[in-house]
Structures are given as C-alpha cells and as structure tokens.
Amino acid sequence: MNKAIIFCAPSGSGKTTIVKHLLSKFDELIFSVSACTRKQRAKEINGKDYYFLSLEEFENKISEESFLEFEEVYDGNYYGTLKSEIERIWELNKIVIFDVDVQGGLNLKNYFGDKCLSIFVKPPSIQELEIRLRDRSTETEETIKTRIEKATYEMEYENKFDIVLVNNLLESAFSKAEKLVSDFINI
C-alpha cells in the first residue's frame, strides 16, 4: 500500500479534529505519532498523542538520522516524524495519516511525492482562528500572539498542497475530507 495522507494547517485550524474523525471512519488509516520536545498536556498520552522526548533525546535522534523530517516549530520546541513510525505503519499494510504543521507537511509532501495526498486545512479567517485558540484555554496571551503571527505566514503556503479544505462548518469539512480520503484510498 505504502501511501500517506498529510493534513497540515496553522495551529487551531481544526486539522486534529478532522484527522481524528477520519480515523474513526477508515480502518485503512493509522495515525503517525510525531515526536516532540514540548511539555506534555494534561490529557495527552505518550506514544499516542506524541512521543514526548527531552531536548537531548531529540538531538540524539537527529544525529542518528532517525527522523524523516523535523524542525524547530517554536523556540526550543522541536517536532519530527520518526522513520520507524512510518515503517511500523506500512508493515501493517495501512495508510499513514499525518497531522503536522505547514513546514512539516511540505517536507513530507516532498519526501513521499506521488504516494501521498496533501491537504491544507484553512480557517475561514485569522479572526476565527484567534477565537478558536482562545476557546482552547490552553494558550497564554503570548503563545496566542505567536501562533497568529505564524498562521498568517503559513497561510501563504496553502497553494503548495494538493487540496485546500476550508474548515468553516465542521460537519461540512468532515464530509469533504471523507470524500477526499475515500477517493485517494481507492486509486
């Protein structure tokens, strides 16, 4: 099978919600768990939501060339895709699905080429994105500002992906995403 589906978007656009929905609908998909150095949030599970690594552990994996791609997304916070994670999923004859930031999505799209479908999830507006980030109640005022600035920059890259999916009404975004994934699986 050796296919990949990449969902990427600015933080707060709804990509994680859409990916979780798709995972509940398609048995063929397995979520690629990223590695990161950020602090684990209260309800997150190591190995399910992320592989939480110390900065030293992450840097060791970089030097061992264990990552398919990685980057410093925010100052001191690294995120990356372990090669072993993709191999694990493909050995199960499943399609790997990613939930990554925009730069990671571009790196993965470049790596997988025509074996992947890349989808950019776009909020209806920057103002709506800010409301969503505030509604999370997990961000400080400073991180909201940083994420909004980064989102404004990332939206400039939307046309580098195969599909732009505007997440205005969640149910509509779910339906569109289901069709896109179904069509890709059945190619």
Write the pLDDT tens digit of every residue in 82-93.
Answer: 999 999 999 999
Q: What percent of the chain has pLDDT over 70?
A: 99
Distance between CA atoms of residues 122 and 148, nearest Å: 13
CA dihedral angle for residue 9, residue 13, residue 15, residue 17, rounded to 10 degrees: 170
Distance between CA atoms of residues 68 and 20, nearest Å: 23
Provide the pLDDT confidence category of residue 17 given band limits of 50, 70 and 90.
very high
Average pLDDT of the chain, as a whole number? 92
The domain limits of the chain are 4-185
Query: Nearest CA to 32 among 49, 8, 17, 15?
Result: 49
- Indicate whether 94 pLDDT > 90: yes
pTM: 0.86
| Token reading at 57 | 């552990």
Distance between CA atoms of residues 144 and 128, nearest Å: 13
Q: List the single range of 24-28, 67-71, 144-148 with lowest mean pLDDT.
A: 144-148
Largest CA distance in the chain: 45
Q: Which residue type is seen at 98?
A: F
Mean pLDDT of 111-129: 93
Mean pLDDT of 154-183: 96
CB 152 within 8 A of CB 107: no
- pLDDT reported for residue 140: 85
Kindly state which CATH superfamily the domain 4-185 is placed in.
Answer: P-loop containing nucleotide triphosphate hydrolases (3.40.50.300)
- pLDDT reported for residue 146: 86
Between residues 143 and 36, the one the model is more confident about = 36
- Indicate whether 54 pLDDT > 80: yes
CB 34 within 8 A of CB 48: no
Distance between CA atoms of residues 149 and 29, nearest Å: 32
CB 5 within 8 A of CB 109: no
